[in-house]
A and B are shown apart, each in its own frame.
Chain A
């Protein structure tokens, strides 16, 4: 049936492809235009130091958004019934609190890292259990888990900043090879590894199949439940990884990590326009995170009030989504 439709709508499909191309090229062009604009107007914007610094500062947001992206890829793009993990930011807060309190209790980095990763995975496993085994809507299940994680973080920190500083954490925060901050290197390595895993391995392709058409994937014999569950574990793991970077970057836990959530959601959704077929991809999310990072940085250098940042981000999502939905409407 779909073939017939495709033949009949050949011209339309061409038009749509053109539109998609325009949007994708448009979003990349917008990215480049923003970079050029800031380079021309903002002092120090176009410098090696500033560029690598922005990449480093985007690392935590991007890594959380990677987890979110994997969940969306495996759960499908519908934000209410599809995959979403609202607990990532709270999970990061909890993991950072675990790390910092263990360091304060006199434990070494190895113990702290292990406990942090276990914490992140436990939160992820709770999400996976609720979504896959019990069948709670992801939006709802991860919302409840988010509340629990945020509460546990408060119990651990009593809403204060637990400082933590070890040679390992300082090394993360240092300048690495080629004069590029280690945070930026970590981001690039994680991104490349995840892109390879999701985009170029059979496992990654199966994951995409599960997200795009769950029934078809099930009919084809894929262990759908296991894949969906795995995405929440990955998201939990990435929250823990982000937490370690965050503890290094801030020299301790932070009380405001829940604030990250909306930025993460926006980054993962904005990433869609940087992909060829307008679907969530890890590469697209990376570009989106950098785009948002450069935007904030440029504003700062131009001395534009930071009050504008969230408004511009909001307008950006709406612009992007309106354009995509117009294209989708053409398709149907």
Chain B
């Protein structure tokens, strides 16, 4: 409900919190970087920054892009871990069975897609809310993995069996920049454009904001939602392949570790948008914030346990700051 006219004073009053709200995340990121640069000489050096990006950022960023897509469509995908694990399971078992890299890669992507297809069937076909549908997928996925691995025994690849292409995917570089960074950058650009600048992206946003209106306007809501959950699973499957290539193994149910941080990053990212909508650049900044804090706390000597507390408190504070200013803005 926009007011027809605003006095200049009202304008000013409104714009300040608006700005605080939108700039909260970049500002927090900047402060955190400055703080760690000041407190640890090992932080602001190229090798450490690359390690932050490759080790802390890449996989979570990819999973979070998928989450952003689902949340933008008004849903959520709690089964990102399942798609990741399925991709990893198929990829690693086929490599272990002596199949060529290309076949294993394809099978991995299809495995992830399978989880997405199941979600799409539940959400679009049966009309189950995304939260519950993907929760069900998560549970069933866990059973499937336990049954196929004798209760959760990891599959390791011996050094001799790891194809060169897999090593390149995880540890190689193109033009001096690590391959994982290329992959994540391409996905970020692709999905930023997809959500922001294509008819599909605008339809997804419309469905997320006003599903009923989108339906009455004749938008292909069902088809688009199917696409959203398939795409989400496919993107996550890429993360699954990269994880298996990095550790040369499939570890059952390892994908769930990303779930909560991906949700956190996505919702922290919504603060970057003027209307509080999920958006890929915001999500990426959110993941970056989490990655920098995890790395920085380690460098200044916090052990793993205190890191978790520190990260949690920081997320909490960012949320409080941005939601408080959102509320202030509404009241102003």
A residues contacting B by CB (< 8 A) are 79-80, 130, 134-137, 139-141, 143-152, 154-155, 158-159, 262, 265-266, 269, 305, 307-315, 317-318, 321-322, 325-326, 329
> Besides A262-B138, A314-B140, 13 other CB < 8 A contacts?
A134-B320, A141-B316, A147-B308, A151-B307, A262-B139, A265-B135, A269-B132, A307-B143, A310-B146, A314-B143, A322-B128, A325-B126, A325-B129
Nearest neighbor of B151 in chain A, beta-carbon distance: A307
B323 touches A136 (CB 8 A): yes
CB of B324 within 8 A of chain A? Answer: yes
Given known A-B contacts A140-B319, A151-B305, A318-B122, A266 and B143 have beta carbons under 8 A apart? no
Contact with A along B241-263 (1 / 0, CB 8 A): 00000000000000000001001
Contact with A along B111-132 (1 / 0, CB 8 A): 0000000000010001111011
Name the prevailing secondary structure of the A interface residues.
Answer: helix
> How far is B327's CA from A73's CA once the two chains are assembled, in angstroms?
24
B319 touches A314 (CB 8 A): no
Task: Tell me the chain B residues, 287-322 only, with Cβ under 8 Å from chain A.
Answer: 304-313, 315-316, 319-320
Nearest neighbor of B74 in chain A, beta-carbon distance: A80
Task: Tell me the chain B residues, 95-109 only, with Cβ under 8 Å from chain A.
Answer: none
B315 touches A317 (CB 8 A): no
Q: B212 CB to closest chain A CB, in angstroms?
A: 10
Name the A residues within 8 Å of B320 (CB-CB).
130, 134, 136
B140 touches A154 (CB 8 A): no
Which of B147, B308, B315 is A154 in contact with, Cβ under 8 Å?
B308
20 A-B pairs (CB sep. < 8 Å): A134-B327, A140-B264, A143-B264, A147-B308, A147-B315, A148-B312, A151-B307, A151-B309, A266-B139, A305-B151, A307-B147, A307-B151, A310-B143, A310-B146, A314-B142, A321-B128, A322-B127, A325-B127, A325-B128, A326-B126
Name the B residues within 8 Å of A158 (CB-CB).
305
> How far is B326's CA from A178's CA once the two chains are assembled, in angstroms?
57
Nearest neighbor of A329 in chain B, beta-carbon distance: B127
> How far is B137's CA from A310's CA once the two chains are assembled, in angstroms?
10
Name the B residues within 8 Å of A148 (CB-CB).
309, 312-313, 316
Nearest neighbor of A145 in chain B, beta-carbon distance: B316
